[in-house]
Amino acid sequence: MSDQIDINTLDVQDENERELAQQIASDEWLRVSPIAIAYFFFKTLYFLIFNVLIYMLPVFAFNLNKLKEHPVEFGLGALGLMSLVLIGSVIKYFFYFYRLSADRVEIRQGMIQKSHMDLPFGKIQNVKIIQPFYYRFSNYSIIELDTAGSAKQEANIVAIQLPLAESFKQKVQANVTDVSATPQDASKDVSDSHAQSSEKSSFHTQETLLNRRSIKDLIIHGVTNNRVWIFLGAAAPFYEPISQNLDSVLTAVGLDISSYLNYEQQSLGIFLLHVLSLVMIIMLLIVIFSIIGAIFVFFDYRLSKSGERYIRRSGLLTKHEVSMKCSRIQRVVQQQDWLDILIGRVNLRFEQNSAGAYQGDQASQMTSANKLIVPSVTPTEADALSQDAFAFQTISSLEYQRISPRYILRLFLFPCSPFVLLAAVFAIYQATILSYLLGFIVIVMLCLSCVLAWYRWGYYEDEDFIYIRKGFLGRDFIAFPIDKVQQTKITQTPFMRKGQLATLRIVLASGGMVVPYLPEEQVKATVDKLLLRVEKNKPAWM
């Protein structure tokens, strides 16, 4: 435990900072607000729904009639489950404590399985402030501390007043020192810190607004980045009961689905027109859900810069504030789906590390403290923000080197060849003009897909940065400094060896990237360059 500090030596400018200083000086274990019970309750409920109950949906679907016959028993069971969750949440609250000192935070929790986390400020990479909808009326928030370690090991202060959380965040950022920095970097950080403290308080830095997203931008993002297939997959067990009641619901609103889809009473053209109309209605509903999701996550989006940190704030019901130090950004990704390309929009991501990547749901990824996402900006805005983070070239206008056309043959042999074989067998077995036509269309589409996937690949490097382009219908531009490289790997199959080709794999803290079918000599020269650069400069990659 570090020595206690004198409150009078701190630059205290308001009551929040004074309260934080008192907590640090007291060196006592503190209990969070009782509103933390709500946090534990909803967190446990979320876990049960998406990790337990979702796998029981088929059981509920097959026994839907029985549930309708016994609504009281079902309601009492649900109430009993909620009561158990509530009791568990109260117990978690009574056994949750935290303690602050001059350079670290400690968190102690658990009744049966006890845990004690001791986290120095120097190990903290990001401080994320979250204000769930059930905290909004009370002005409380959650502090989420990112250490780039295991995402399963939480470091959260679960209920602290929002102004006090802001003061804590600024305190951590003012005291944090990169543990991976060289001694020269550390001394420079210390001198810079002293210089800044002579001009203004270390608790307060001025923010510059870099970008904000309007409702119009969020609607565009919802339309172009559709992920509602996840909901369609989750609803699969209910398709049968939905289909049984769909006809009566549509008839009630004036749409006779039975007559629309009765092929025997209509011409082929009218039948296909009705099918197309239903598909359009379904697609419209999907787009509406996607737009609603984008507004919930990115409402009132603001990206600011304070000193050497990017700060992103957004959220409709749950407010998220993510802070990321510029020097810890590993790579910049400009992502465009096919519709983004048509309307001229880019989804920009600043990525720090891959901790928490096991969380597969899109909402977790979009609000992760390890990624700063700027949704649906224009290419000009994306280039300006990218160059603010890294002083590199405009990544979308470079003359990228294409990979070898042998990659097309590789894709056609695998994974496309099984589908080509199936299409050919189907056409020969049916032996009709329509089957031959469908088989021919499938084979042509697969061939075009292989060519398009090859066409999107591109590689470019200069003295300090590496740029990668890839995609299929859409395209991604990825750029990162050579100094961030942690690991390189060269792979070569017998097929590639005959053509003197190789695959380059580069690993950063934010994840790995692969560029296939480059000239073998070029790959070896690039790897030698990267390793020599790391050995010579010994850069701090975080």
Taking the domains of the chain in order of start, what are their residue ranges? 226-293, 406-455, 459-542
Report the DSSP pairing between strands 371-377 and 346-351. Answer: antiparallel
Lay out the sheet containing 104-109: strands in order across: 30-31, 97-100, 104-109, 115-120
Q: To 5 degrees, how large is the angle CA 184–CA 187–CA 189?
A: 110
Report the share of the chain in percent with pLDDT over 90. Answer: 37
Cα 303 to Cα 375: distance, rounded to the nearest angstrom:
11
Helices (H), 70-212: 71-94, 162-175, 183-199
Residue 75 — φ and ψ, nearest 5°?
-65, -40
Cα 350 to Cα 371: distance, rounded to the nearest angstrom:
6
* 51: its two tokens: 């990790």
Report pLDDT for 149: 53
Residue 371 — φ and ψ, nearest 5°?
-135, 135
More confident residue, 173 or 340: 340
- Considering the entire predicted model, what is its pTM? 0.74
Report pLDDT for 205: 57
Q: What is the mean pLDDT of the chain?
A: 80
Cα 105 to Cα 33: distance, rounded to the nearest angstrom:
17
Report the half-sphere exposure of 492 (CA within 13 A, side-chain side).
15
Q: Is the per-residue pLDDT at 114 higher than 60?
A: yes
- Tell me the per-residue pLDDT of 460-472, one tens digit each, with 9 for 90 and over: 999 999 999 999 8
Report pLDDT for 480: 94
Yes or no: is domain 459-542 CATH 1.10.8? Answer: no
For residue 330, give the nearest of 482, 501, 180, 497 by alpha carbon.
Answer: 482
Report pLDDT for 246: 52
Q: Is the per-residue pLDDT at 393 higher than 60?
A: yes
Report pLDDT for 254: 52
